[in-house]
Every structure is written in C-alpha cells, then in structure tokens.
Amino acid sequence: MDLVNKLSRYMVYFKNEKYLPKDATSILSLSRNILHDDKIIIRDVRVASHFLELDISIATSSGIGKIKSKLSQIAPIIDIDRIIEKELDKNESIKLARELFNNEKYWKTHEVLEGIWKHTQGDERDLLNGIILVAAALVHYQKEELAICISIMKRALVKLNNSYGKYHDVDIDSLKREVTNMVNSSKVSNFRI
C-alpha cells in the first residue's frame, strides 16, 4: 500500500483577509515550503472570499498540532475538517450541499452531491451532474484557472439543459442564468443557490 492510501485527508480553513484566487499557487508553494520536512501531503489550496481551504493528507491526527503551529504564519486557522465519506439520505445531502455551496466550499459540495448522484438516473442524474460540474468549475475559479472554470461551466449547462424550476429548494432556473451569464461574459463570481 502506498503512502497516500495510509493517510487521513483534511481540509484546513484559514481566515482570509488579503488573498485572492491569483494567490493560490504562491500559498500552495509557501505551505509546502513550511511543511517540507513533515510527512504531510499538501494537495491543493483554494481561495474563497472569507477563507483559504488547504487540502492535505497526514499520517496521524497528531500531525494536526504541527499543522496548526507551522501554518498559522500564513493566516489564523479557523477550522480543521477531517474528510470522511458519510452516507446521508438525498434530502440531507442536498441541504448540506446547498449550505456548503453558499459558503463557497465548492470542493465539499462536489463530494456530497457525488454520493447521491451515483444512485440516480435519467434527468435527475444529469441535473445533479450539472450542479456538481458548477461546483467543480468554481473550485478552479478559486485557483484562478478561469479557462478551465468556463470550460466546465459549459459542460454543466449541457447537463442542466432539460431541468427547470426548483429541485430541493435549489432554483435551477436561477442557477442556469448565473452560469450562462458567466460563460457568455467570461467573468466568474461567487453566487448562492
């Protein structure tokens, strides 16, 4: 078994007072330099309006102390969330995914929705896949990968094409308008669903 499979995955959230998506690469590099001697894999950094999301894997929970002490020089740590796949019913999953999306936690939105997407069919499967793709696109926006973001949003619109109205309190018509406007203007921004 390789090292990655023996590690636990965490999202570390830092308070964001000054960083923009264009800073994601430099924050990732800085984080890796700070923790270069430790057995910690830093997968990615995403920059949201009010937080930085550092995607890491570590061998034990005792490594959390190292992370807290060493990475606090980047910004104050506001939360550490261990990623564990949870089985939730559809209503709970969609409610949680909507809350995550509206808090700019797009990576986790994608993960939660994927859990129920696997068990759907037909138009509902396409609809969920479209929402997942929007969340995935916004993950790339948080890393200032605009071309990738727009490309994924175009794919999302294809999946959302046959869906209208409300889906578990998600206004699909509004979602499609937001995504269409961003694709047409090539200007991406956060929005709520």
Contact 51, 16 (CB under 8 A): yes
Per-residue pLDDT tens over the stretch 8-53:
899 999 999 999 999 999 999 999 999 876 678 999 999 999 999 9
> Directed axis angle between helix 24-34 and helix 63-71, to 10°?
120
Other CB atoms within 10 Å distance of the CB of residue 121:
7
More confident residue, 166 or 1: 166
CATH of span 3-82: 3.30.70.2750
Place of tokens 């090292």: 3
The ranges assigned to domains in the chain are 3-82, 90-185
Phi, psi of 74 (to 5 degrees): -75, -50
Tokens of 10: 């965490």
Q: State pLDDT tens for residues 137-175.
A: 999 999 999 999 999 999 999 999 999 999 999 999 999
Tokens (6 digits) for 150: 């727009």
Residue 139 CB burial class (10 angstroms; 0-12, 13-18, ≥19): buried
Kindly report, residue by residue over 75-106, the tens digit of the pLDDT.
Answer: 999 999 998 877 778 999 999 999 999 999 99
How buried is residue 60: exposed, middle or buried, by Cβ count under 10 Å (0-12/13-18/19+)? exposed
Which one of 2.20.25.90, 3.40.50.10420, 3.60.20.10, 1.10.3450.10 gives the CATH number of domain 90-185?
1.10.3450.10
> Among 48-52, 66-70, 85-89, 179-183, where is mean pLDDT lowest?
85-89
Per-residue model confidence (pLDDT) at position 62? 64
Closest CA relative to residue 45, chosen from 149, 151, 139: 139
Identify which of 104, 168, 163 has the alpha carbon closest to the alpha carbon of residue 137: 104
